[in-house]
A and B are shown apart, each in its own frame.
Chain A
Amino acid sequence: MSIAEDIAMMRADSFVAYVLNGLVQASCLFLLASGLTLIFGVLRILNFAHAALFMLAAYLAAQVITSTGSFWLALVLVPAVMALVGAALERALLRRVYDVPVPYQLLLTFGVILVIKDLIKLTWGTASRTIAEPPALRGATSVLGRDYPLYNLFYIAIIAVVAVGLWVFLHHTQFGKRIQAAAADREMASAMGINVPGIYTAVCAAGTALAALLGVFHGPMMNIHLDVDHQYIVEAFAVVVIGGLGSVPGALVGSLLVGMLDSFGILLIPRFQMAFIYMVMAAVLIVRPQGLFGPREG
């Protein structure tokens, strides 16, 4: 079937299904990329271990759900615990490498991945595990007369709420403004009386909590295993590069772009579906090296 025929034959309900599939992908990428880009924007550290933290959260969620049977408890508990892990990570490790050359920072965060993986292996073994969605969100609902998974809709909605919440927090709260100030100029912010080290810890905790939130939310969509981080980190980095390192709106636009390209790419030219993302990334890097929303740097 040719592309033209495919589009011509496409019904409205199919089109909406592809849009929703793309939004699911975009939501997943956004939750991962926003934490990554937030931490980079403020701490100036490219946290390679970000997806490993997401993976750890997924294992924790599986454990909480197995022990208590409650998805909702996991949803509250796991991001809270992981925020503490993120704070500890910043206090104990990242704080020591702010002023050293980038390769050392990468080595450190890469080392953290290995530690997390070995911890997971020791605690839960190498067998993969899965999470079931809460009973209330099982099954499908009708979208334009077509069955669409209820959980996918819930997933898109919740992450949209998180995105809006994040925007309001960063732009319309005192603390958010302090974060932006610390990100823009560390020394000036410190001189103005802002507790910069405290903000760094808080941002690392918040970014990690975002990854953890995805660990729980994405649990029912995936098989949780020791290499699940690889599957997501590459596209998350692509999103961050497309959107601009350090830019949360950039992460949002980048996620939407990549999510839709993934979804419609499968429909139109499945053979090149994977290549699309990298073609877009290359194009952005050529035309706007700082990314779509990245600040222009000297």
Chain B
Amino acid sequence: MAAGGSFFSTRRAWGAAPPIKVGLIMSFSGVVAAWGAAGRMGAFMAADEINQAGGVLGRPLEFKLEDDTSTNAAIAVQKARKLVFDWGADFLIGFNSSGTALAVVPILPELKRILIVPCAASPRITTEVWNKYCFRNHVHSNQKGAAGAAIAATLPYTKWTVIGPDYAYGHDSWGAFATHLVQKKPSVQIMSTQAWPKFAAGAYDSYITRILDAKPEAVYSPLWGDDFVTFVKQANRHDFFKKVGAFFTPAGLAMDAFYALRKEVPKGIYTCAHGYWFEHPDTARNKKWVEAFVSKWGELPHVTAHETYSAVYYLKAAIEKAGTTDTEAVIIALEGLEQDSPSYRKVIRKEDHQVITDVPWGKTQDAPGLIPIESRVGDIVLAKGEEVAEPLDQVLKRRKEGGTPPWMQYIIKS
């Protein structure tokens, strides 16, 4: 079940240069295993390129994988400790689920290791539970929510509800979106009939019946991974997507869902593909990267592959800037660091270590020529990173006050 094992990407003479050890903790089993697999592909691709080009400070990157099983916070904590104390990891990259990430961030001061989060999207990771060892090179739910709400506010719908997984990410994703939507369009009515199935629920028929009976005009869904795929299969049968005016999902339609659903991907629904759709931006740099990815792995890149690739290059740049792998020095080097990722320019904000970058939202459409998925995210509108970033004073205030984020008022479970 565990996908362990050390990894040297190239056999070359490194002489006496000791490797720089990077522990990668992701979901290699469980309902979001596809996201862990994608994370491995991106990280290994970057490591291969870097090692072939001479490594970092003349040292090779060495990876070790650990599996957080998608849901188990206690296992995630144990695996992080194991990577640092047993294996001697210099750096950690990790977490698909905010459920596991939020459990590990508080022990980073004890591990004295940097963690770069390339996927988990709860804003709390870089606000309420944040500490200086924690970095995220990926847009979080508040940024995605702000970008999505900008589009949602232009639509003629006012009655909104949600079907989302009942844990921090689901709450934060919907809460942030609803907050931005109400701010932009005060006539919006957040419905009290909401659906909060547990993570990995499997059966959604009654949630679907309940939501349809309440007659929402538009629905937002932070379901993701296999949960979203299962939901779509059951919802399609109830004609769910035709009965609601608009449907928004930030992370449901990442590449894993396109591969699983193919023609069954509902058309005309809004998504940001968790922050990256491989056809956007239409630049030579992105195209070249996608081509290299496809030739290496034989499949189209998932957002998480893009983000772990970026995370490894962030580490490389920061270590080279610091001239050492010393944790404290690399922290300072990462703060404010810019990167031209294959897609959009990224900047790690100094004060909260949260990346500021553009967010694409588009609409699903048929793409018969796009083998093998036959569907795509089209009509992409790009929200500017600076415009959707959470204002710093707000972040610092939330960090200082702790507790739960202000948008919990929009989560109604009765």
Where the two chains meet, the residues of A that have a C-beta atom closer than 8 Å to any C-beta of B are 1-2, 14, 17-18, 21-22, 24-25, 28, 114, 117, 126-130, 132-133, 139-140, 147-152, 220-223, 225-227, 230-232, 262-264, 266-267, 269-271, 274
Contacts and interface: CB of A to CB of B under 8 A. Distances in A.
Interface in B216-234: 226, 229-230, 233-234
Given A1-B192, A147-B238, A270-B196, A225 B205 contact: no
B24 to A, nearest CB: 15
15 contacts: A1-B192, A2-B414, A14-B209, A24-B205, A25-B205, A151-B237, A221-B203, A226-B29, A227-B29, A231-B31, A231-B200, A231-B202, A266-B207, A267-B210, A271-B414
Given A132-B264, A226-B33, A227-B29, A263 B239 contact: no
A18 B230 contact: no
B85 to A, nearest CB: 27
A1 B233 contact: no
Interface string B238-280: 1100000000000000001001110010000000000000000
Given A117-B1, A225-B33, A227-B33, A128 B206 contact: no
A21 B1 contact: no
B375 interface: no
Contacts of A274: 198
B203 A262 contact: yes
A244 to B, nearest CB: 24
B126 interface: no
B237 A140 contact: yes
Nearest to A227: B30
Contacts of A128: 33-34, 226, 229, 256, 260
Contacts of B198: 274
Contacts of A226: 29, 33
B233 A266 contact: no
A140 B242 CA distance: 12
A271 B192 CA distance: 14
Given A17-B209, A25-B203, A270 B230 contact: no
B308 interface: no
Contacts of A28: 203
Contacts of A227: 29-31, 33, 70, 200
A227 B202 CA distance: 11
B213 interface: yes
Contacts of B33: 126, 128, 225-227
A268 to B, nearest CB: 10
Q: Is the interface of A mostly helix, strand, loop or mixed?
A: helix
Contacts of A264: 206
A227 B261 CA distance: 18
Nearest to A16: B209
A220 B233 contact: yes
Contact of B226 (A25, A114, A225, A262): A225
Interface residues of B, number: 39
Contacts of B193: 1
Given A126-B34, A127-B34, A227-B31, A263 B233 contact: no
Contacts of A150: 237
A161 B407 CA distance: 49
Nearest to B37: A126
Given A263-B206, A270-B413, A127 B259 contact: yes
B3 to A, nearest CB: 9
B294 to A, nearest CB: 15
A116 to B, nearest CB: 12
B45 interface: no
Contacts of A133: 237
Contacts of B1: 114, 117
Contacts of A221: 203, 230, 233-234
Contacts of B47: none
A117 B69 CA distance: 14
A223 B229 contact: yes
B195 interface: yes
B206 A129 contact: no
A264 B37 CA distance: 37
A6 to B, nearest CB: 9
A263 B208 CA distance: 11
A139 B238 CA distance: 8
A105 B43 CA distance: 41
A151 B237 CA distance: 8
